[in-house]
Structure 1
Amino acid sequence: MAISTAPRPAHQDVLDALARCVAACEHCATACLGEDNLQMMVPCIRLDRDCADICRLTAAFIARGSDHAPHILKECIEICQKCHDECAQHQHAHCQACAAACQACLEACKSYK
Structure 2
Amino acid sequence: MAAMDPKMKECIDNCLNCYSVCLSMAMNHCLETGGKHTEPAHFRLMMACAEICRTSAHFMLIGTEHHKHTCRECAEICTECANDCEQVGDMQACVDACRKCAESCRQMAA
- TM-score category of the 2 structures, normalised to the smaller one: 0.7 to 0.9
Please state which structure has a larger fraction of its residues in helix. 2
In 1, the alpha carbon distance for the partners of 2:16 and 2:78 equals: 13
User: Kindly tell me: are residues 77 and 20 of structure 1, through their superposed partners in 2, closer, same or farther at Cα, counting changes over 3 Å?
Assistant: same
Instruction: Give the greater-gyration-radius structure (CA).
Output: 1
How big is each residue's C-alpha offset from its partner over 1:48-83, in whole Å with a ceiling of 9 and x where there is no partner? Answer: 110010011001111111121111111111111110
In 2, the alpha carbon distance for the partners of 1:52 and 1:36 equals: 19
Q: 1:22 aligns with which of 7, 10, 19?
A: 19
RMSD between superposed Cα atoms in Å: 1.9
Q: How many residues are treated as equivalent by the alignment?
A: 108
1:103 aligns with 2:77: no
Q: For residue 26 of structure 1, report the CA deviation from its aligned partner.
A: 0.8
Unaligned residue ranges in structure 1 (runs of 5+): none
Unaligned residue ranges in structure 2 (runs of 5+): none
Q: For residue 28 of structure 1, report the CA deviation from its aligned partner.
A: 1.7
TM-score (norm 2): 0.86
32-41 or 70-79: bigger deviation: 32-41
Aligned to 1:55: 53
TM-score (norm 1): 0.84
User: Kindly tell me: are residues 77 and 39 of structure 1, through their superposed partners in 2, closer, same or farther at Cα, counting changes over 3 Å?
Assistant: closer
Percent pairwise identity: 33
2:105 corresponds to which letter in structure 1? C
In 1, the alpha carbon distance for the partners of 2:37 and 2:6 equals: 42
Contact 2:78 2:98 in 1 (8 A): yes
- Partner SS for 1:57: helix
In 2, the alpha carbon distance for the partners of 1:91 and 1:80 equals: 16
Contact 2:79 2:102 in 1 (8 A): yes
